[in-house]
Amino acid sequence: ACIWVVVPAAGVGKRMQSNTPKQYLPLGANTVLDCTLGQLLSHNKIAGVLLGLGSEDSYWPDSIWFGHEKIKTFVGGVERADTVRLGLDYLSNQLGLKNDFVLVHDAARPLIAHQSIDDLLANTNPCGGILAIPAKDTIKQSLETSKPSCVEKTIDRNLIWQAQTPQKFMIKTLIDAIDYAKSQGVEVTDESSAMELSGYQPALIEGDTRNFKITLPIDLVIANALLMHEPL
Ligand code: CTP
Ligand code: MG
């Protein structure tokens, strides 16, 4: 069976400090988003991509994938979760998909390997799962959220994983979970957070360190270097 992917690409990339939204910055021969879509569209289990774009987006028509038959675009929302929610609406209302799994994958994670998608799809946890990387640094908990701060304690590193995307959940369950988080005033930065808030325990599937999120300027330098070094 094939699976749809919701790709939120409606952010402005504030932390990248570039006038061009980071998903449209150059990576290899094309852009970050082109690279992300290329990896998804070339995977044989992907039915199609629902791409959430910013309301003012003027870059998408220049994409190498513009007009691709497997891509449907929609206008995203204010927060990432709003964009994802609108994509899920389309799957549920327009395509009638409810009791099917969906993948959600950040436009800003271009170096997603097919092997990682395979591993996520092969996982049989009924509530779904996420790609993640075991922490390699020693992890400190701060006394407070503001900076500067001090160390309160050291967290057992063996319990710490860094979440990535894609994340895989049942469409209907994820819609309910995102709506519940919103109703509670909780801002979630990934789908798993919303699911956890509703009491689910998604599977942790070990991913690939190359699938980091392009967030800061240095991330683009690293991604370009990785692409030059060896293809995914
Ligand atoms: N995203 C989205 N809709 C939003 C905000 C973010 O579709 N309202 C997307 C981004 O385009 C990105 C992904 O969600 O592909 C992950 O978000 P993030 O890395 O935070 O991107 P930005 O919000 O664009 O960056 P920043 O937080 O630095 O402004
Ligand atoms: Mg953001």
CA of 164 to the centre of ligand 1 (A): 14
Give the C-alpha separation, 128 to 69, whole Å.
28
Q: Which of 85, 86, 54, 72 is CA-nearest to residue 177?
A: 85
pLDDT digits (tens, 9 = 90+) for 42-60: 999 999 999 999 999 999 9
Q: What is the residue extent of each domain of the chain? A: 3-131+162-229
Rg (CA), the chain: 18
The two beta strands, 161-170 and 101-104, are antiparallel
Ligand 1 atom 25 nearest Cα: 13
Amino acid at 209: T
Q: What is the pTM of this model?
A: 0.98
Q: How many CA atoms lie within 13 A of 92 on its CB side?
A: 15
Reported ipTM: 0.99
CA of 184 to the centre of ligand 1 (A): 22
pLDDT digits (tens, 9 = 90+) for 103-158: 999 999 999 999 999 999 999 999 999 999 999 999 999 999 999 999 999 999 99
> What would be the CATH architecture of the domain defined by 3-131+162-229?
Alpha-Beta Complex (3.90)
CA of 225 to the centre of ligand 1 (A): 23
In sequence order, what are the beta bridge partners of 63? none
Q: Is residue 171 a contact partner of residue 98, using CB atoms and an 8 Å limit?
A: yes
